[in-house]
Amino acid sequence: MERMGWVINQLPKTDDCHLALMSEERVRQAQEFHSSIPGYAATPLASLRNMAGYLGIKGLFVKDESNRFGLGAFKVLGGSYAISRFIAEKTGRAALGYEELTSARLREELGQFTFFTATDGNHGRGVAWAARRLGQKAVVFMPKGSTQPRLQHILDEGAKATIEEGNYDDCVRLAADAAAQTPNSVVIQDTAWEGYELIPGWIMQGYGTMAWEAALQLRLAGVKKPSHIFVQAGVGSLAAAVQGYFANLFPQSPPKVIIAEASAADCLYRGAAAGDGGYRIVEGDIQTIMAGLACGSPNIVAWDILKNHSACFLSCPDWVAARGMRMLGVPLKGDPTVISGESGAVCMGALAAITQFDEYRELREALALDEQSVVLTFSTEGNTDPHYFRRIVWDGKFPAEIG
């Protein structure tokens, strides 16, 4: 069985100029926008008390994003908020709520824009969902290996969508090139590069709504703050959003944040392992069941936040996510069931491996994961690809060979 890789963060620190992006005030502004959308509700925070005992920790909470706006994943939070901010700036407003965004008057004033994006599924679906409701257009490029159900979800939202021959990063370039050649268009992408940082920052703030909800739900459950947070990363936007929000929320004693990536696309882990502060890029075909994490180039804004604040970086083989899916889907008696997709369950699988397997004892001790630990994880997607979900949960694909 391929082992998880891990690196304790010893990267050189920067001036931390991007941390303010995820301040409480800015995240609260995003949450207020989302709460203006019909159908908004905080997603559940599942308390897995019995699983926590089984893993030898004090508490385990899983933020369940399987029914966010009926789309099965958290990604819509970022795309919708970025689009709202873009339109607000185009029309000279400080902020816009959903009712004004969807008004005929605003559409007449703004005209019609085309939002271009690249996606492995969930982000593109969220952008398409938002564009359709605002009377705008969306064009989505998907990488080689994307599944037909994920493509169909995007087409059902009225977007133009195609599966390309290149990988995710190739599709990002296609989206940027197409937008540059199309009047009244913009790229809505959750990765940042030199010269393209504003919109990814808005997307990260949109993701902050999920972290804001989780912090409130923990307080209502009697937990002031978690001791540890496990969060997954593709380009790193979600991870940095969560890391940044909790670093701002608890500046004197922040939780230890552990970043989990797919081994096939572990650009952040490779940067941490190199130790020089620079980021690394994973090239070529990226084959992993964690489609939402199959990204080879990091968001440079996110990388800055993560290298300044994260405790540890993990490189996770596919069996880690598969085991997490099965553990959440068939929980211990008395615990709630969490239906989690491949990218959503990797943190559960990683936590279980670290706390259960002797080969990760050194890491367990380095992170001080013990009977006093209260852990927060994010299940970022539900069953977004039913066929593949059944192959893993029903048929036992990608087993963990224990013992």
Residues carrying an active site annotation? 75, 120
| Phi and psi, residue 301, nearest 5° | -70, -45
Assign 223 to helix, strand or coil: coil
Q: Which of 337, 391, 374, 362 is nearest to 4 (CA)?
A: 362
Locate 159 and state its tokens: 């977007």
| Phi and psi, residue 64, nearest 5° | -100, 105
Locate 339 and state its tokens: 């239906």
- Give the separation between CA 305 and CA 18, rounded to whole angstroms: 6
- Give the separation between CA 242 and CA 228, rounded to whole angstroms: 12
End-to-end CA distance of the chain: 11
State how far the alpha carbon of 330 is from the alpha carbons of 126, 337, 354, in Å: 28, 7, 20
Cα of 246 vs its chain's centroid, Å:
15
For helices 122-133 and 76-90, the axis angle rounded to 10 degrees is 40
Report the side by side order of strands in the sheet with 160-163: 160-163, 137-142, 114-118, 185-187
Q: Which of 111, 123, 44, 32 is nearest to 76 (CA)?
A: 123
Which sign does the torsion angle of CA 131, 203, 211, 347 carry? positive
Contacts of 118 (CB under 8 A, 6+ apart): 124, 140, 141, 142, 143, 168, 171, 172, 174, 175, 189
Q: Which of 138, 29, 135, 147 is nearest to 77 (CA)?
A: 29
